[in-house]
Amino acid sequence: MEHERIQEQVFCQSCGMPIQDASLLGTDRDGSKNSEYCMYCYETGEFKQPDISLQGMTDLCTGFMVQDGMTEDTARQLLAEQLPRLKRWSALQSPEA
């Protein structure tokens, strides 16, 4: 019996979305599943929005979370805590090269 449920909770390292099913995972260049990013952020080895800023991502995610029934204030507060810890954004906060 095959099922694609993921055992541990995985969060997209770009947008923070919980990835509860392997079908939501993004794909690498060779078409295999990427285990760090969701399909909305990452496809065939590239970010779908390569130039988006942390602020831009916050705005984008806020929109989805508000659609989901969250207030904008709560959504922004959550994202302000969550997004900077994700792999895609934490790298940006390293000291200037």
Asked if 61 is part of the footprint of Zn ion (rule: CB under 5 A), the reply reads no
Strand pairing category for 46-47 and 42-43: antiparallel
Strand partners, 18: 11
Binder of Zn ion out of 24, 41, 57, 75 (CB under 5 A): 41
CB of 40 to Zn ion, least distance (A): 5
CB of 4 to Zn ion, least distance (A): 18
Residue 5's beta-bridge partner residues?
21
Query: Least separation, in Å, of the C-beta of 95 and Zn ion?
Result: 26
If binding is defined by CB under 5 A, does position 19 make contact with Zn ion? no
* 95 Cβ neighbours under 8 A, 6+ residues apart: none
14 binds Zn ion (CB under 5 A): yes
Q: Is 12 in the site for Zn ion (CB under 5 A)?
A: yes
| Residue 10 in contact with Zn ion, rule: CB under 5 A | no
Distance between CA 72 and CA 50 in Å, rounded?
25
Give the H or E element holding residue 59.
Answer: helix 54-67
Q: Can you give the binding site for Zn ion, defined by CB under 5 A?
A: 12, 14-15, 38, 41
